Amino acid sequence: MLHQALEQSCIVLIRVQIAYRSEFHNLHRLLYLCNSFSNLPGKIFLSNSPEDERLFDVLVKSYSGARYGDHFSVEQGDAHLLYKKIASFVTLAKQMCEEKIVKLENEAALYKQVTQEREVQNG
């Protein structure tokens, strides 16, 4: 479920930030695509520390391991650390999306105002 939470958060973040509908589900690719508009999301998981790399590897392997394997397990400490990282990511994604939506609403309001002013000027 943590894998899915990260995947879906990346997908919505990408959709809101750059209006791109992602058709892939690879967590590495999704986080790298997030780098096209901000380095903050990727830093949560891809900080280049060996421990972060190990945890991210556990997360990446968890989807197929849990779904298709009979013996996949994650240590409780790792699950807790991943939960905290993903909760931070979801919070960041929500904040970034809210900020982008406000920006888009402001731009739409400004466009509407300019358009109305032009119509008045042109009679």
C-alpha gyration radius of the chain? 19
CB atoms within 10 A of CB 105: 10
pLDDT tens digit string along 18-45? Answer: 999 999 999 999 999 999 999 999 999 9
Give me the mean pLDDT over the 7-13 stretch: 97
Tell me what pLDDT residue 47 has.
87
CATH number, domain at 21?
Answer: 1.20.120.330
How does residue 65 score in pLDDT terms, banded at 50, 70 and 90? Answer: confident
Domain count, the chain: 1
Q: Is the pLDDT of residue 68 over 80?
A: no
Q: Is 62 helix (H, G, I), strand (E, B) or coil?
A: helix
How does residue 13 score in pLDDT terms, banded at 50, 70 and 90? Answer: very high
Tell me what pLDDT residue 49 has.
92
* Domain residue limits at 61: 2-122
Segments in the chain forming alpha helices (H):
2-18, 27-34, 40-45, 50-68, 76-122
The pair of structure tokens assigned to 42 is: 């990727």
